[in-house]
Amino acid sequence: MKIKLLFILSLALLVCGCAPWQIVQNSRQWRYLGFEATLPAGWMKLNSSPDILFLSKDGELLQSIRIFRYEINKKNALPITKKIVTDNMLPQEISELIVNEMSLNQNKQKLKILENIPIDISGENGFKLEYVFNTPDNLKIKSVLYGFKKDKFIYLIQYQATEQFYFDKDVVVFDDFIKSFKVLR
């Protein structure tokens, strides 16, 4: 009986210790792959994401902050247009490829680009895209996407939220996150 109880308790501790979502208790510094940023307090961090970083406060569909990384190589074509990002492309050329890709994405209906500008991201030449779209279920989404090249990768930092309520509510949190984002040399 004691062995069975000990096994059940051990299993429970193991499962609880591997929770996929972890709350960010206080604003804390995050470091990974030569980057750092201050994570927003009260948000949840997904521990088992293929993204470099995935944060949400009220749920992935309501609002999220994500950092993606894509390797630049001839085998890594964009999924819809099959276009390839090359080493010699400027950030604005990359942003145009992304806009083109999104415009053909069936999950981004009524896509409207609000802003597409060059920007400096922690000393790296990059771009900022701001856009709105409707999901297939007619949910209106607003997104801000920063991108830059570093070494053999393209990094994309995205804030996305429902336009009606959550975007304006949490965009300041994302702005603070971007201001704290650093590329470590």
Closest CA to 49 of 77, 21, 30: 21
Q: Can you give the pTM of this predicted structure?
A: 0.85
Q: What domains sit in the chain, N to C, each tagged with a CATH number? A: 2-183 (3.40.1000.10)
Rounded Cα distance, 15 and 118, in Å: 45
Gyration radius of the chain's alpha carbons? 19
List pLDDT tens digits, range 133-171.
Answer: 999 999 999 999 999 999 889 999 999 999 988 999 999
The pLDDT value recorded for residue 76 is: 81
H or E element at residue 180:
helix 166-180
Q: What whole-number distance in Å separates Cα of residue 37 and Cα of residue 28?
A: 8
pLDDT tens digits, one per residue of 72-92? 987 888 889 999 999 899 999
